[in-house]
Structures are given as C-alpha cells and as structure tokens.
Copies of this chain bind each other. A is one copy, B any other.
Amino acid sequence: MSKKEALLKAAEDKVRLGGYNNFSFREIANEVGIKSASVHYHFPTKADLGAELAHQYTNAFLNALGDVDEIKANNENPIDVYTQLFRNALLTDNKMCLCGLLGAQNESLPDKVRLEVKRFFDLNLAWLEQAHSANGESEPSHAAILTVSLLEGAMMISKALNDHSYFKLATK
C-alpha cells in the first residue's frame, strides 16, 4: 500500500468515527510514518483529501454492490445484497457509513467534499431504483428512498446506542 493509500485509509477510519474534523494531517502522517508537511504533497489541502476520500469510498461501495442484472440473474434479491453491504460496514468495521456521517455534517463541509457526498447518494438512489424496478415494485423511486433512509438511520442509531442488535432488528 502506497503512502497515499495509507493516508486515505487512516483518514477514513477517523472520519467514520467522528466526522470531517476528526482527523488532522499530523495524526494521519504519524500513523503512516511521514511528516504532516509531506501530506500536502499528496493532497494540496484538507478539502482535496476529503473529496478524494469520499470519491473513492463511493466507487468502492458501488463496486462492491455489483450489477443489479447480474444479481437478478443469480436469483438473488439485490435489496438483500444492498442491506448486507451496509450490515457488513457496521458489523465488520464497527463504523458509520462515511458519506452518511459527512452528509449529516453537510453545511460545515468544503464545497468539493459536499459534492462527492451528494454523488454517493445520487448513485445509491439510482442503483436502488433499478433494483426495486427489477423486483417489480410499483414505485421503485419511492422504494429506493425508503430503503436508503432506513439503512442510514438504523446505522446512525446503532452507533448512538452502541448496540448492533438494533441494526439487525431494523433491517429484518
């Protein structure tokens, strides 16, 4: 893993625990074994780092979801796949969804970060709409909104209560 990738990973862990202000160049530099000034070589500003972090997170998330048609072709329910990905993010990493937390902080984010967070939800809603449509839902667009809202909310409250069983109950 390159230093740049390591910096992004270190930042991701901290942001997913406490939001955009929960990491500093010094902290993540220490963790990967360079000086804070050197972080600016890879990311001119903190906003640049935050934006790239959200962008890559979104790409990785959508990549992990895969293609709706392929899922259907395997006789699987894409909504179950989606739910499972959220569940893993919470249970395995024991952390919030990066873009969920950043989204809640929207108004205090730099513009370029805000834009990437919006991209995450736009793409998620598009994927879910396609999924519900493939499932024969009568209102796929509305169902998509309900799905992502419920999952993000359940995740948030599971963290607030520090109780993973909450998420399981909310998504069963």
Give the interface of A toward B (CB within 8 A).
17-19, 21-22, 95-96, 99-109, 114, 117-118, 120-122, 142, 145-146, 148-157, 159-162, 166, 169-170
Docked-complex contact A160 and B21, CB < 8 angstroms: no
Determine the residue in chain B with the shortest Cβ distance to A141: B169
Residues A149 and B162 in contact in the complex (CB < 8 Å), given A18-B107, A104-B96, A121-B157: no
**Majority SS at the chain A contact face:** helix
Contacts of A162 in B (CB 8 A): 106, 114, 118
Copies in the complex: 2
Q: Which of A104, A106, A107, A161 counts the most chain B CB atoms within 10 A?
A: A104
Is A159 touching B103 in the complex (CB atoms < 8 A)? Answer: yes
> How far, in whole Å, are A104 and B100 apart by their CA atoms in the complex?
8
Tell me if B145 and A169 are in contact (CB < 8 A): yes
What separation, in Å, do the CA atoms of A149 and B149 have in the docked complex? 8
Find out whether the CB atom of A156 lies under 8 angstroms from the CB atom of B18.
Answer: no
Option from B95, B121, B145, B157 in Cβ contact (under 8 Å) with A160: B121
Nearest B residue to A96 by beta-carbon distance?
A: B104
Within 8 Å CB of A99, what residues of B? 160
Say yes or no: A19-B145 contact (C-beta < 8 A), given A157-B121, A160-B99, A161-B118. no
